[in-house]
Amino acid sequence: MFEAMVQALGNIASPTIWVWVSVGLIAGLLLGILPGISSLTGLTLFLPFVFRLEPMQALPLMVSMASVGYTAGSITAVLLGIPGEPANAATILDGFPMTQKGEGSRALGAAITASLMGGAVPVFLALAMVWAVMPIIMAVTSMDMVVVIAAGLVVIGVVAKGAMLKGVISGGIGLLISSIGLAPMTGVPRFTFDMPYLYDGLHLSPVAMGLFAVPPMIELALEGGESTLARSGAAAVKGMAGAWEGARDVFRHWWLWARSSFIGYLFGLMPGVGANSAVWVTYGIAKQSSKHPETFGTGNVEGVIAPESANNAKESGALLTTLALGIPGSAGGAIFLAAFIMLGFRPGPSMLTEQLDLSLTILILVALANIIAGAICFPVAPYLASIARVPGRILVPVVFVLIFVAAYASSGQMADIVVLLIFSAVGVAAKRHGYNIPALFLGYILGELFEQYLFLGLQLGGPLFFIRPIPLVIIFLVALFFAYRPLKGAIGSRFGRARTA
């Protein structure tokens, strides 16, 4: 291990690596900030060029490009309510209201700091826990995954708090929407109307754009041409001081950051679960455990810290799974897998033994790329936050163009625009009638995974497939999670009464 670490540090010290890291960072930041075009698109486009490069040229570029996409994606999520990458969707819920209140730079400061630390620190956790990775991945079977995903669905109940019935209905509609396409187990087409476009289900990008980005823009347009700042009545946009305040928020909520990063990392380790689930689970836990859950959705900085820590932290976990098992933990991981094979490496357990130096080099690059990306984004955050001063009559058309381009860019089909329009209408109607958009989105993204693993669980273990140690522990933890507050309240009031008496 020591020798491998020395070798890895030697690799990092080479100046040429930094040229490739810089190119990857700039490309990753630009692609991440453009909604709809994710760093995944960049990786895919770059793949054909891998042939022509040496491993220590291609890998630094790809690793840095993949590592910083979520950091950049949080910028548009906070400032415009548009998720730069689908895994930034949860950041909108509190990040965008903060911008509307003139606290955009604070939200960005928090998002960038949480991303930077969420991306960098778990790498060291990964390095320290290389030996534990394989047993963890091997222990969790498809039967256990059903309960992991179900625990994610329970978050619907958390985000729906306050208007539970409408929240649960919204989540249910999301689940129904997730069933569009070929059934994962039987291959039977459902709600596809013989249209091959629908065979793979609805594309994530137009659905996310329609639900999250369009409704606030329509609201802004309907309420006249004022800027968001003028509408909210906030005094002014906070400058650099705001960004530092956001950074301090992360340290103030260090436990929230650490917990969310750890959950993100664990989700990354599990092949097939992905960042999209991790951000919502951490958001739900943040809300449930917050001292002020009622302020979530109106601009609580905790709602920014949790998902932004998780989505960056997930990458080091996913990368480790790809290296150790040759099994990609995410779509980005799949591209990496292809690149590794093209470069002549055979991902597998040997990456954690004979080729440990290469794995360590990659993990250290992830940490450094996150730190540099944070250092680049942080100083410009206050300037970007001034977008809240831009009058709606200018902002709305520009953002609408971005939304349409982003929805179309995901797969280049006109049907994506139709889906965008339909989900924009759904988003506006849901907002107007008090239905819960995050619950709907959560049902939509987790529904397919839940169904896939549920059927696998039933086929493998029968109806009582969850009577196993891991599922039972998770069920117990979820029950504890919900019972914690009422129990604490009950015990507190009892002891309080006892003391008064």
Partner 1 sequence: MWPDKVGGAMVVKNMPGGGSLVATNFVYQAKPDGLTVGTANLGSGVISPVIMGDAGAKYDLKKMNWIGAYLSGGSLVVTLSTAKPYKTVKDLQAAKGLKFASRSPTAASTTYAALFFEVFGIDAKIVTGYQGGADMALAAKRGEVDGTVMPASGLPVYIDAGGLQKPVMNMDFARSEYFPDTPSLAESAKLTPQQESLLRLQNATGASDKAVFAPPGIAEDRVKLMRDAFDKIIGDKGFKTLNEKYFPIWTRPMSGAELTEYIDKTLAIPKSELDAMSALSKKYLAVK
Please, which of residues 265-284 interact with partner 1 by CB under 8 A?
Answer: 271-272
Contact flag: residue 331 with partner 1 (CB under 8 A): no
Q: Which amino acid is at 451?
A: E
Place of tokens 């991902």: 347
Choose, by CB under 8 A, the member of 6, 9, 132, 195 that binds partner 1. 195
Q: Is 197 in the site for partner 1 (CB under 8 A)?
A: yes
Sign of CA dihedral 422, 425, 426, 427: positive
Number of Cβ within a 10 Å radius of residue 469: 9
Stretch that binds partner 1, among 115-123, 133-141, 147-155, 374-382 (CB under 8 A): 133-141
Shortest CB 378 distance to partner 1, Å = 35
- Alpha-carbon span 217 to 36, nearest angstrom: 17
**By the rule CB under 8 A, 187 interacts with partner 1:** yes
Find the shortest distance in angstroms from Cβ 194 to partner 1: 4
Applying CB under 8 A, does 464 fall inside the site for partner 1?
no
The contact mask relative to partner 1 for 33-52 (x = CB under 8 A, - = no) is ------------------x-
Which of 427, 471 has the CB closer to partner 1? 471
CA distances 135 to 324, 349, 457, Å, are 11, 12, 20
Per-residue x/- track, 402-421, partner 1 (CB under 8 A): ---------xxx--------
Please choose, out of 87-95, 137-145, 245-253, 427-435, the segment that lies near partner 1 by the rule CB under 8 A: 137-145
- Do 117 and 308 touch, CB atoms closer than 8 A? no
Q: How far is the CB of 419 from partner 1 (least distance, A)?
A: 12
Alpha carbon distance 391, 398 (integer Å):
11
Q: How far is the CB of 44 from partner 1 (least distance, A)?
A: 8
DSSP string, 436-475: -HHHHHHHHHHHHHHHHHHHHHHHHH-TTTT-SHHHHHHH
Considering the rule CB under 8 A, would residue 342 count as an interface residue with partner 1? Answer: yes
Residues of the chain by 3-state class (helix, strand, coil), percent to 5? 80, 0, 20
Using CB under 8 A as the binding criterion, the count of chain residues that bind partner 1 stands at: 42
Residue type at 235 in one-letter notation: A
Token look-up 């930034």 returns: 88
According to the binding rule CB under 8 A, does residue 189 interact with partner 1? yes
Q: What is the dihedral of CA 174, 176, 181, 186, to 10 degrees?
A: 130
Enumerate binding residues for partner 1 (CB under 8 A): 51, 137-138, 141-143, 182, 184-187, 189, 192, 194-197, 199-200, 271-272, 325-328, 337, 341-342, 346-350, 411-413, 452, 455-456, 458-460
